[in-house]
Structure 1
Amino acid sequence: MGTLKYGNGDDATFTMDDVDLAHLAAVVTAKLRRREPFLLTCRSETTRQSIWIHEASTLVYGYETPAAIDLDRARLEAMVVDTNRPTGLTVRCEARALHAVGALAAAA
């Protein structure tokens, strides 16, 4: 399982499959290179949390798998389309590891 850490310190941490995280990282990188902010929602069976991704966002990707992951071009293209929707991109996360602290926890 991989992790996406958002913010300075431990503002929010999302845990997901390494393959899902690799695809998300590629999409986020492409969007931020073009200075295109978007809404990212991480959803589990029991929780949902959204964050605003923009060029000043601090993001750290951690992978359990050391090897490079092959990316599916069709999946990437579909994810990019979703980032442009008013509801943004929704990804699946693990409920047991989805947590927030600080300002994000107060808003939840």
Structure 2
Amino acid sequence: MGKLLYGASGVEIGFDDRVLAHLQVVIGAKLRRGESFYFSWKDDPNIGDGRSTVWLSDAIPLYFKYSGGKMPSLNREWVEALMTSANSNQGLQLSDELRPTGESTGG
């Protein structure tokens, strides 16, 4: 499990490495353009099963810490869906990974 460390206080938010890699791409794209936005996700049941939201801007330090040494492959369709969400008035809402178009669902 990787971590997103937020702000100078170093608040740690745990995400699977695969999720974290996709978030890094989307968050990085928005912040490179100087766009601030909200980021919301559903909390893990171990910490209350609620929802959390943070404000992201280029003035707030972020650190992406991966638990594994290998960068996960990216799902372009999921990145696009996350980016669409990030560009909305509600901000980035973490959603489940989309299955790439044309991927077999199996037997």
TM-score range with shorter-chain normalisation?
A: 0.7 to 0.9
Give, in angstroms, the shift of residue 70 of structure 1: 0.9
Q: Which has the higher helix share?
A: 1
Q: Which has the higher contact order (CA 8 A, sep 6+)?
A: 1
Partner deviation per Cα, 1:26-62 (whole Å, 9 max, x = no partner): 1111111111111101212412111111111100111
For the aligned residues, what is the CA RMSD? 1.3
Greater C-alpha radius of gyration: 2
What is the TM-score with the length of structure 1 in the denominator? 0.78
Q: Which moved more, 1:62-71 or 1:19-28?
A: 62-71
Give, in angstroms, the shift of residue 87 of structure 1: 1.6
> Kindly, what percent of the aligned residue pairs are identical?
34
Partner of 2:9: 9
Partner of 1:26: 25
Q: Which moved more, 1:44-53 or 1:69-78?
A: 44-53
Give, in angstroms, the shift of residue 91 of structure 1: 2.3
Give, in angstroms, the shift of residue 16 of structure 1: 1.0
What is the TM-score with the length of structure 2 in the denominator? 0.78
Structure 1 runs (4+) deviating above 6 angstroms are none
Partner of 1:76: 79
1:50 has 2:53 as partner: yes
